Structure 1
Amino acid sequence: MAAAVFAVLWAVHAGGPAAPAKAATPRIAAANGQGLRALFGSENRVFHSHEPIVAVTFNAAWNDAGLDRILGELDRWHAPATFFLTGDFADRHPEVVKRIAAAGHGLGNHSYSHPYFSDLTASERKREVQAADWSLRAAGAGAALTPFFRFPYSETTPAHIREVNCLGFADIEFTTDTNGWKGTEGGMTVDRAVSRAVEALRPGAILQMHLGAPNNRTEVIDAQALPQILEAFTARGYRVIDLRTLLTSQGRPAPTSR
């Protein structure tokens, strides 16, 4: 019941999912559930599809050093994305929230302060999720706001997922991370980031990248790798889809695995 109520409230608030004009809706494998409810009870690292489609996502908790290039490349390739922002990031960068929304991409919840959820009490975890939601709304997320949550450090447990679901959010994790956030000082290169993305490519894959870089670095390998990644996906016959189509299509998550 709570999920159904939240789905209605979210649809009224957001006015329905807003995707870039050239993003087509995929045919996603039908299941017993529909929309948001079908995503509950799972960490959703992939989604079922018989088509060569993939989702691209970005996390943001540090700075916005890669924003211009990332938004520019997504626009050039007509590729929708979902950006999972912390509430703290939204408070510090409300203009980024507005730019992402204006570009037609989705905005997801990545907690307020990016803590390890296992170190928190249930009430503290609830506050982390709700505070981030409030910050995104206050920053101007508007119709771009989704009922999607991504755990900090991708640290999930069935119990914590249930808590998030009870708050009206589906957990959306990822199939692979490019690891571009590590930077050259962490041994990463653009080529390695691209290789990680391509090696994980499969129907229903969810790619995680990062909008900025830690420690006030301005080098954002994911921003540099994005055009090559999108080109490689296209060359292999894959199309980038908007995760918000899972809310309006009969779909279900694929079995989760790490």
Structure 2
Amino acid sequence: MRKSFILIIIIFIAWISVNNPFVNKYVAKLTETALPAAKQSDSLYQTIEKKAPTYEISPSDAKIDRVWKAIPGYNGLKVDIAASYKNMKSKGVFDKNKLVFTQISPKVHLNDLPPSPIYKGNPDKPMVSFIINVAWGNEYLSQMLATLKRHHISTSFFLEGNWVKNNPELAKMIVSAGHEVGNHSYSHPDMKRLTAAQARQQLIRTNEVIEAATGEKSEWFAPPSGSYRDETIKVANELHMKTVMWTVDTIDWQKPSPEVLINRVITKIDNGSMVLMHPTASTAKSLDRLITLIEQKNFKIGTVSELMSENRIIK
């Protein structure tokens, strides 16, 4: 009887030990510690280690370019050897398609650079963005928004403050459709001719009215007609906004035919391009075909924030 009782006690203690989370965690830790040593003696693991550098890409730092001014950085790629090994272990053979990568951040970021305008994203990033400046053209907005929705695209609308004041529901509709909104000044002045105080007032008033109408804070500023001076860029930077220009201009305000507008963009568009457009009849008629052709060139279309981010696009 006593032996049976002792046996029951031993079984009970063993059961508690096995099902104790602290014990399990300790055992798991020991297993994890022992695993790398076992893997490193495995020929597959050694093959992955040896070939990994061949598939790795160094990150590129943000920089000031002589022509394009501020250029954002772009993450590099490093092979996760342990995860790749786990991915290939079942078949036991090296397969480059089963490599697992982690993104490596650059050492210099866009925020590390001195205030400077941005004309394009990183030239290695297969993404483009639309810079849609809005100060008029209400009658074309619905069609453009419908086209963007049909293609599941979010991009960036830069709103004039006075326009937002008079059209708060349209501004709200743009944000509700999933698009980013930026600052396009308050009254569309020639920013190059304004004092620092006047420029500051233009930007602050616009930020206030955009936030009041949409609840969104602007991170990007697009000067009307692309006119600015160094002081303009510094004022925007002090207000925690970066100044964006464009890489490709649709010149849609000249009312080109859809064929002319599309050709103008498609022949120039490249990695990191920002395409300037407005709510016009020309753009509204061209947008559907333009998006299709851009995507056929294997470019992803996103917001300015997405384009400027260091996140790498993995195809």
Q: Considering the TM-score relative to the shorter chain, is it more than 0.5?
A: yes
Aligned partner of 1:217 in structure 2 is: none
- Could you tell me whether the CA contact under 8 Å between 1:57 and 1:206 is conserved in 2? yes
- Residue 156 of structure 2, aligned match among 68, 75, 82: 82
SS at match of 2:219: strand
| Structure 1 residue identity aligned to 2:194 | L
Q: Deviations over 1:179-212 (max 9, x none)?
A: 11222xxxx2111111111122110000111024
Q: Which blocks of at least 5 consecutive residues in structure 2 are unaligned?
A: 1-72, 76-104
- Could you tell me whether the CA contact under 8 Å between 1:113 and 1:128 is conserved in 2? yes
> Which 4+ residue blocks in structure 1 deviate beyond 4 angstroms?
none
Q: Deviations over 1:210-247 (max 9, x none)?
A: 024xxxxxxx2111111111011011111102222357
- Aligned partners of 1:53 and 1:248: how far apart in 2? 11
The normalised TM-score by structure 1 is 0.76
Deviation of residue 133 (structure 1)? 0.6
Aligned partner of 2:74 in structure 1 is: 28
Greater share of residues in helix: 2
Aligned partner of 1:19 in structure 2 is: none
Deviation of residue 159 (structure 1)? 2.6
Q: How does 1:19-98 map to 2 (within 5 A)?
A: 28-29=74-75, 30-34=105-109, 37=111, 41-98=115-172
Q: Deviations over 1:135-166 (max 9, x none)?
A: 11121x224x4310001110132232112111
> Is 1:241 aligned to residue 302 of structure 2?
yes
The normalised TM-score by structure 2 is 0.63
Aligned partner of 1:152 in structure 2 is: 224
- Residue 199 of structure 1, aligned match among 267, 278, 285: 267
Higher relative contact order (Cα pairs below 8 Å, separated by 6+ residues): 1
- Could you tell me whether the CA contact under 8 Å between 1:149 and 1:171 is conserved in 2? yes
- Aligned partners of 1:40 and 1:151: how far apart in 2? 18
Deviation of residue 51 (structure 1)? 3.4
Distance 1:134 1:170, change over 3 A: same
Aligned partner of 1:225 in structure 2 is: 286
- Aligned partners of 1:102 and 1:125: how far apart in 2? 29
| Structure 2 residue identity aligned to 1:142 | G
- Could you tell me whether the CA contact under 8 Å between 1:178 and 1:193 is conserved in 2? yes
- Aligned partners of 2:260 and 2:241: how far apart in 1? 33
Deviation of residue 40 (structure 1)? 5.5
- Residue 235 of structure 2, aligned match among 163, 185, 189: 163
| Structure 1 residue identity aligned to 2:269 | L
- Aligned partners of 1:196 and 1:230: how far apart in 2? 14
- Aligned partners of 1:234 and 1:240: how far apart in 2? 8
- Aligned partners of 1:73 and 1:102: how far apart in 2? 15
SS at match of 2:116: coil
- Could you tell me whether the CA contact under 8 Å between 1:33 and 1:250 is conserved in 2? no
- Aligned partners of 2:146 and 2:222: how far apart in 1? 24
- Aligned partners of 1:235 and 1:248: how far apart in 2? 23
Distance 1:194 1:211, change over 3 A: same
- Aligned partners of 1:41 and 1:211: how far apart in 2? 29
Q: Deviations over 1:72-121 (max 9, x none)?
A: 11111111110000001101110111101101100000000000012222
Q: How many residues align structurally? A: 211
- Could you tell me whether the CA contact under 8 Å between 2:207 and 2:218 is conserved in 1? no
- Could you tell me whether the CA contact under 8 Å between 1:190 and 1:225 is conserved in 2? yes
* Pairwise CA RMSD: 2.1
- Could you tell me whether the CA contact under 8 Å between 2:129 and 2:302 is conserved in 1? yes
- Aligned partners of 2:243 and 2:106: how far apart in 1? 18
Deviation of residue 49 (structure 1)? 4.2
Indicate the percent of aligned positions where both proteins have the same amino acid.
25
| Structure 1 residue identity aligned to 2:249 | D
- Residue 215 of structure 2, aligned match among 142, 151, 156: 142
Deviation of residue 62 (structure 1)? 1.5
- Aligned partners of 1:84 and 1:70: how far apart in 2? 14
Structure exhibiting the larger radius of gyration computed from Cα positions = 2
